[in-house]
């Protein structure tokens, strides 16, 4: 049973445009959400996170939106750059000091010059 | 530049052989995770440790997999005997207790069992 779902395996956008990556979750106990980026032959690297007490968090070109009622979050990248081409993983955790993350299967983003 | 170090980066072995993967967490991080990435399942948590004690290994096949932390600077994941279905990329990650729940990943060990 997949508790974190990324329904789009891939996404292709033009350089300079907005990239929107989506993530849905089913476990209402999740209270903290993270996005990781992964390049080939490297490990995932942390990108941005959001607590369930917020609905938006912004860091430079990256913004994460959380809609708790819909159990949905999205990552917006504006403007997209070719160097953003990577696999993006959505992850979620519950319960304070519990460090266990549940990951989605990832979305491959390709930004075309 | 603090990073999680995993060795070996690649491992090719034959079915039935023992495989040991090693991980050096970031200095000062007291929580260590082992993940497996496959095309079908994505990133699955196998086990994790806090202050070298195993907290959760429910994701690990118990009959053939074992994970240990002999000391604070070394975590190991062992498969004995290995099977072709174990072929995957294995990632180690570490985190600092009390931090912002951020896990830092190593570059992974790509395992191929023939």
* DSSP three-state, residue A84: helix
Question: What residues of chain A lie within 8 A of the CB of B103, using their CB?
Answer: 46, 99, 101
Query: Exposure pattern of B88-109 as b/e (b: 16+ CB <10 Å)?
Result: bbbbbbbbbeeeebebbbbbbb
In this prediction, residue B99 has a pLDDT band, given cuts at 50, 70 and 90, of: low
Question: What residues of chain A lie within 8 A of the CB of B91, using their CB?
Answer: 43-44
When pLDDT is averaged across residues A38-50 and rounded to a whole number, the result is 95
Share above pLDDT 70 across residues of chain A, in percent, rounded to a whole number: 96
CA–CA separation, B76 vs B92, rounded Å? 9
Q: Quote the pLDDT of residue A60.
A: 97
In this prediction, residue B100 has a pLDDT band, given cuts at 50, 70 and 90, of: low
Average pLDDT taken over every residue of chain B: 92
In this prediction, residue B57 has a pLDDT band, given cuts at 50, 70 and 90, of: confident
Q: Quote the pLDDT of residue B62.
A: 86
Question: What residues of chain A lie within 8 A of the CB of B42, using their CB?
Answer: 89, 103-106
When pLDDT is averaged across residues A80-101 and rounded to a whole number, the result is 89
When pLDDT is averaged across residues B72-79 and rounded to a whole number, the result is 96
CA–CA separation, A43 vs B36, rounded Å? 11
Asked if B76 and B5 count as a contact pair (C-beta separation under 8 A), the reply is no
Cα nearest neighbour of B57 on chain A: A100
Share above pLDDT 90 across residues of chain A, in percent, rounded to a whole number: 90
């Amino acid at each position: 049973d997949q508790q974190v779902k990324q329904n789009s395996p891939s996404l292709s956008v033009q350089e300079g445009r907005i990239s929107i990556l989506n993530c849905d979750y089913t476990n209402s106990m999740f209270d903290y959400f993270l996005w990781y980026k992964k390049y080939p032959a490297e490990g995932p690297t942390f990108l941005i996170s959001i607590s369930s007490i917020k609905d938006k968090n912004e860091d430079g070109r990256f913004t994460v939106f959380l809609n708790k009622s819909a159990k949905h979050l999205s990552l917006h990248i504006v403007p997209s750059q070719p160097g953003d081409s990577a696999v993006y993983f959505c992850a979620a955790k519950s319960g304070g000091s519990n460090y266990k993350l549940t990951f989605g299967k990832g979305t491959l983003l390709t930004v075309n010059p | 530049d603090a990073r999680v170090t995993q060795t070996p980066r690649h491992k090719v072995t034959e079915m039935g052989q023992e495989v040991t993967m090693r991980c050096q967490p970031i200095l000062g991080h007291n929580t260590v995770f082992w993940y497996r990435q496959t095309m079908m399942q994505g990133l699955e948590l196998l086990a994790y440790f806090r202050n070298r004690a195993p907290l959760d290994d429910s994701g690990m096949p118990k009959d053939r997999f074992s994970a240990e932390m002999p000391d604070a600077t070394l975590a190991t994941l062992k498969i004995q005997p290995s099977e072709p279905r174990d072929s995957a990329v294995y990632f180690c990650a570490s985190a600092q207790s009390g931090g912002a729940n951020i896990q830092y990943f190593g570059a992974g060990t790509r395992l191929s069992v023939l």
